[in-house]
Amino acid sequence: MKRREFMRLAGAGAVAPWLAGLSAYAAVKVPSYLKGYETLYAQNPRAAALQWFREARFGLFIHWGCIR
């Protein structure tokens, strides 16, 4: 085996596990509260969270206190 062939095969062997690991990152992990919003989450996570918030009918109450 020539040095150049060895380097080519060794490089391919080193890259293969790295490429396999990329597939794990390709799968989008959706938070548990956003089940049912997977397609929207894959496109835009913020929009999916906002849509869930609106459909859950939550609201925010901000009380700044009384300053006298």
pLDDT tens figures, 7-60: 777 776 665 665 555 554 456 789 999 999 999 999 999 999 999 988 988 777
pTM, rounded to two decimals: 0.47
* Band (63; pLDDT cuts 50, 70, 90): confident
Note the pLDDT of residue 15: 59
First to last CA, the chain: 86
